[in-house]
Amino acid sequence: MSAIKSVTSRIEELEKLASEAGIDISDELKKIGDKIEETSKSAKAWQRVELARNPDRPRALDIINNICDDFIELHGDRYFGDDLALIGGIGFINGIPVTIIGNQKGRNLKETMARNGGMANPEGYRKALRLAKQAEKFHRPIITLIDTQGAYPGLGAEERGIGEAIAMNLREFSQLMTPVICIIIGEGGSGGALGIGVGDKVYMLENAVYSVISPEGYASILLRDSSQAKHAAGMMKITAEDVLRMKVCNGIIREPEGGAHLDQAESSRLIKETIVRDLEDLMPRNPAVLVRYRNQKIRKFGHYEES
Amino acid sequence: MTEKKIVCPICKSEVDHETLSVNLMVCPSCKYHFRMEPNERIAYLADNGSFIELCKNMKSLNPIDMEGYTEKLSEAKKKSSMSEAVVTGTCTIEKVPVVLGIMSFSFMGGSMGSVVGEKISRAMLKGAEQKLPVILYATSGGARMQEGIFSLMQMAKTASSAAELDRAGIPLFLVLCDPTTGGVTASFAMLGDVTIAEPGALIGFAGPRVIEGTIKQSLPEGFQRAEFQQNKGFVDIISPRNEQRALLVKLLKSHAGLAYESAASFARTTAKASALAESVRSGGKA
């Protein structure tokens, strides 16, 4: 950022010199100015990506432990196995029983390996759906904590139908007759994030990002240069402010100064505050009305022209 | 004036466009299924002159001001003479009225942005509303990344509309064509009541190159092809193109009959129930 400042001051000097010499360089300067603005936007977006990926950032289980009076983890999809990259269970928040589902990343190499870097396989999404249906059956609200680069692009995931598993979650979560609150706590990447991201309310933590593909993926596919990830991050409009502006999320949950990783307890408190407020708002509502509004909202997403 | 020959990418035999077109864009020697455009599929599937296009004037915008997207769109329009990567409408097939949606891979890789998502969503909602079976031909590289988060949300949107159709008891038939990947696979394409695939079609979520990059080894022969997906349990029927119309007619007859029958029997049951309730109320005098 300081590099940008020094360039800006050099340009001001140049502008002064040019006007003294009676030369018009405003067109050139505007071009440079635009470029600087773009670079600084990219730098800001990239800073968010780095914060969202910070290994010390509170993970789903950290948040669960901080916001719940008690939590019982439930395992398995009943078909294939238990996916440690996507966890879930029943918690009590201020005494209210809720079902919590979340992507779980590790903090060190060993944990990251065990959690597959937070990239879930089909059994993870099927477990999420099982727990969601269970929550619906017993009238528990659902909270999802999203933090993944995306679903796991592996051989086994394809063999076991990762596409079908995510598709089914999108369809079924849209119809759940119980409140669903989704919070993107770190990385919200692609269909893997959306697979537990359909709900009545969607929030983003201040430094979380939400995108259709990772900046690296965008750079390598559309810019044909994977080293352009920073630049791509700026172009893609992935910050919480961007996503809120596009009305794809309902609000932004503030983080402690400098980022959630600096004060896990305080960031959990801020998350809990939002959840408790929304539970009070959503729980008394008629579930059928909730589902109708949820689907009306989902079907409005998009930007097009019709003449 | 000699017409340019088309070389089959599989058997390398040369074929002229006329022959290929008459043969439903299937290689006469090796049965390789070339990609086929919506207008060609409509001509094959719909009863003559029955197709009425929906949302004809829906246009994509550049919702996140992505550099180069506007140019890319107009280029795609010019090259394909289509307005977007999907054509939707109503028609009859052997006199059975249906909603039909057909994607095109040649329009920006069949990618799903706001317009594609909206058109497919409305096609399904129309089916639910008017009790018309819905047939969707999918082919896509996935979400249209140039539309950022809006493209991701089209997955949720099409799945929500598929839910509406599902709850209404109206059948959704999917035909997966080469290739069907990414966000389209992970949304409406995997939500059909019956899933048909064209022979040899690549069907999957992650693209083969991405998977190879993850597992650092090359993929087995036939991985993610229609036959593989059937073997793994994700495709009901692999149907060669020249058999698809007859297959769809059979499926329409079986499902539409059931749908109407159940609706009719539901009406009869409720009529009977209310008559019974009435007779109880009036002390069994009726």
Enter the ipTM.
0.91
Is a pLDDT exceeding 70 seen at residue B284? no
Is a pLDDT exceeding 80 seen at residue B269? no
In A48-111, beta strands by DSSP E: 70-73, 86-93, 96-103
Contact in structure between B46 and B96 (CB atoms under 8 Å): no
Domains of chain B: 1-34 (no CATH), 35-255 (3.90.226.10)
Q: How confident is the model at residue A224 (pLDDT cuts 50, 70, 90)?
A: confident
Contact in structure between A115 and A85 (CB atoms under 8 Å): yes
Percent of chain A whose pLDDT exceeds 70: 99
Residue A185, exposed/middle/buried by CB under 10 A (0-12, 13-18, 19+)? buried
Query: What integer is the mean pLDDT of A109-131?
Result: 96
Q: Helices (DSSP H) in chain A: which residue ranges?
A: 2-21, 26-52, 60-67, 109-114, 122-137, 155-159, 162-173, 190-194, 215-221, 229-235, 240-245, 264-282, 287-300
CB-based contacts of B191-195 (< 8 A; 24+ apart in sequence): B191/A167, B191/A168, B191/A171, B191/B159, B191/B162, B191/B166, B192/B136, B193/B166, B193/B255, B194/B236, B194/B237, B194/B251, B194/B255, B195/B234, B195/B235, B195/B236, B195/B237
Determine the pLDDT at residue B260: 52
B179: closest CA of chain A, how far (Å):
14
Helix (H, G, I), strand (E, B) or coil at A68: coil
Chain B residues with beta carbon closer than 8 angstroms to that of A299? 121, 157, 160-161
Cβ contact B186–A157 (<8 Å): no
Residue recorded with tokens 């409406």: B188
| Residue B143 β-bridge partners | B112
Size of interface A-B (CB pairs under 8 A): 186
Cβ contact B166–A171 (<8 Å): yes
Chain A residues with beta carbon closer than 8 angstroms to that of B186? 151, 162-163, 166-167, 170, 191, 195
For B283: left if phi > 0, alpha if psi spans -120 to 50, otherwise beta; the answer is: left
Q: Pick the range with the lowest mean pLDDT from A170-179, A227-236, A240-249, B122-131.
A: A227-236
Of B58, B155, B232, Cβ closest to residue A194: B155
Other residues' Cβ atoms within 10 Å of the Cβ of residue A93? 20
Is a pLDDT exceeding 60 seen at residue A143? yes
Query: What integer is the mean pLDDT of A242-269?
Result: 96
Of A155, A161, A171, Cβ closest to residue B211: A155
Chain B residues with beta carbon closer than 8 angstroms to that of A198? 156, 159-160
Percent of chain B whose pLDDT exceeds 70: 92
Contact in structure between A141 and A283 (CB atoms under 8 Å): yes
Instruction: Report the 3 state secondary structure along B71-108.
Output: HHHHHHHHHHCCCCCEEEEEEEECCEEEEEEEECCCCH
The residues in A 185-204 lying below 8 A from B, measured between CB atoms, are 190-191, 194-195, 197-198
Cβ contact A153–B151 (<8 Å): no
**DSSP 8-class letter at B52:** E
Q: How confident is the model at residue A79 (pLDDT cuts 50, 70, 90)?
A: very high
Task: Say how far apart CA A275 and CA A92 lie, in whole Å.
Answer: 12
CA B101 vs. chain centroid, Å, equals 6
The residues in B 188-207 lying below 8 A from A, measured between CB atoms, are 188-191, 204-206
The residues in B 22-51 lying below 8 A from A, measured between CB atoms, are none
Residue of A nearest to B188 (CA): A167
Cβ contact B156–A161 (<8 Å): no
Of A153, A168, A298, Cβ closest to residue B211: A153
Q: Tokens for A6? A: 């020094």
Q: What is the mean pLDDT of chain B?
A: 91
How far from each other are the two terminal CA atoms of chain B, in whole angstroms?
84
Chain B residues with beta carbon closer than 8 angstroms to that of A306? 55, 57-59
Residue A296, exposed/middle/buried by CB under 10 A (0-12, 13-18, 19+)? exposed
Task: Say how far apart CA B130 and CA B74 lie, in whole Å.
Answer: 34
Query: What integer is the mean pLDDT of A23-39?
Result: 81
Q: How confident is the model at residue B258 (pLDDT cuts 50, 70, 90)?
A: very low
Residue A95, exposed/middle/buried by CB under 10 A (0-12, 13-18, 19+)? exposed
Q: Rounded to two decimals, what is the model's pTM?
A: 0.90
Task: Say how far apart CA A169 and CA A100 lie, in whole Å.
Answer: 15
Cβ contact B163–A153 (<8 Å): no
Task: Say how far apart CA B129 and CA B134 lie, in whole Å.
Answer: 11
Task: Say how far apart CA A121 and CA B152 lie, in whole Å.
Answer: 19
Tens-place pLDDT, residues B140-151? 999 999 999 999
Chain A residues with beta carbon closer than 8 angstroms to that of B219? 155
Is a pLDDT exceeding 70 seen at residue B256? no
Query: What integer is the mean pLDDT of B108-118?
Result: 98
| Distant-in-sequence, close-in-space partners of A191: CB < 8 Å, separation ≥ 6 | A150, A151, A166, B152, B155, B182, B183, B186, B187, B205
Contact in structure between A182 and A198 (CB atoms under 8 Å): yes
Query: What integer is the mean pLDDT of A1-17?
Result: 76
B48: closest CA of chain A, how far (Å):
28
Class of domain A51-300: alpha beta
Query: What integer is the mean pLDDT of A87-101?
Result: 98
Task: Say how far apart CA A294 and CA A230 lie, in whole Å.
Answer: 34
Q: How confident is the model at residue B84 (pLDDT cuts 50, 70, 90)?
A: very high
Domain edges within chain A: 51-300
Determine the pLDDT at residue A1: 52
Determine the pLDDT at residue B263: 53
Task: Say how far apart CA B258 and CA B170 lie, in whole Å.
Answer: 10
Determine the pLDDT at residue B64: 95
H helix and E strand count, chain B: 9, 10
B39: closest CA of chain A, how far (Å):
22
Tens-place pLDDT, residues A81-92? 999 999 999 999
Other residues' Cβ atoms within 10 Å of the Cβ of residue B13? 14
Q: What is the mean pLDDT of chain A?
A: 94
| Residue A270 C-beta-side C-alpha neighbours within 13 Å | 21
Is a pLDDT exceeding 70 seen at residue A145? yes
Query: What integer is the mean pLDDT of B246-259?
Result: 82
Determine the pLDDT at residue A191: 96
Determine the pLDDT at residue B257: 54
The residues in A 242-271 lying below 8 A from B, measured between CB atoms, are 242-243, 246, 248
Determine the pLDDT at residue B1: 47
Tens-place pLDDT, residues B207-251? 898 898 888 888 999 999 999 999 999 999 999 999 999 999 999
Of A158, A167, A218, Cβ closest to residue B206: A158
